[in-house]
């Protein structure tokens, strides 16, 4: 039986920014985003835009949020990013209008190919369409599209696409009920 050999591992990630920009972002992320004392959403939105994120109007970013690479992030109008959210966006993350990403959620674009001896890095974008709600401590895996107005329940894990106007729960997340908005 073959075994994984981490010494053969080579990352294939394309960061998309020069080293100096990465270093500046590293400190901005620590000082202004991960810092629970910074409650000023407008400051965080401004910094994200400065570092290349596309941010719409009325976006709210709560304290203790971590964003890997802002230049790989698009957030449309009136979306909320809750406390303790971690966007490990090694690939593009696109968030639509009026999306809520609740406390402690994880948007995870990267992983490894567990079938290869070299444990190759793999990464796929995440799309969260208009009106979606990602529950507290939920995980959205790379390559997933959360279609319009879908809900991913608390502590649930989305490993495949979520259909529009459907509520999902569990690990892995399964559809439990159709969402009706009055």
DSSP 31: I
pTM score: 0.95
Check pLDDT > 90 for residue 1. Answer: no
pLDDT tens, 41-96? 999 999 999 999 999 999 999 999 999 999 999 999 999 999 999 999 999 999 99
The residue whose two tokens read 């959403």 is: 41
Residue 2: exposure state from Cβ atoms within 10 A (0-12, 13-18, ≥19): exposed
Check pLDDT > 90 for residue 9. Answer: no
Cα(119)–Cα(55) distance, integer angstroms: 34
Cα(49)–Cα(69) distance, integer angstroms: 12
The mean predicted confidence, pLDDT, of the chain is: 95
Instruction: Pick one of 2.160.10.10, 3.40.50.300, 3.90.170.10, 3.30.1180.20 as the CATH number of 17-178.
Output: 2.160.10.10
Confidence of residue 2 (pLDDT cuts 50, 70, 90): confident
């Amino acid at each position: 039986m073959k075994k994984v050999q981490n010494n053969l591992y080579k990352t294939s990630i394309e960061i998309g920014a020069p080293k100096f920009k990465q270093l500046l972002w590293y400190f901005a992320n620590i000082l202004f985003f991960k810092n629970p004392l910074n409650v000023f959403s407008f400051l965080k939105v401004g910094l994200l835009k400065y570092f290349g994120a596309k941010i719409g109007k009325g976006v709210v970013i709560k304290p203790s949020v971590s964003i890997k690479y802002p230049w790989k992030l698009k957030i449309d109008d009136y979306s909320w990013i809750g406390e303790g959210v971690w966007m490990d966006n090694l690939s593009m993350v696109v968030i639509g209008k009026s999306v809520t990403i609740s406390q402690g959620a994880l948007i995870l674009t990267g992983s490894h190919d567990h079938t290869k001896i070299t444990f190759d890095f793999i990464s796929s974008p995440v799309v969260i369409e208009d009106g979606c709600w990602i529950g507290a401590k939920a995980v959205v895996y790379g390559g997933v599209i959360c279609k319009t107005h879908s809900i991913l329940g608390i502590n649930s894990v989305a490993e495949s696409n979520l259909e529009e106007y459907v509520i999902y729960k569990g690990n892995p997340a399964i559809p439990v009920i159709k969402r009706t908005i009055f």
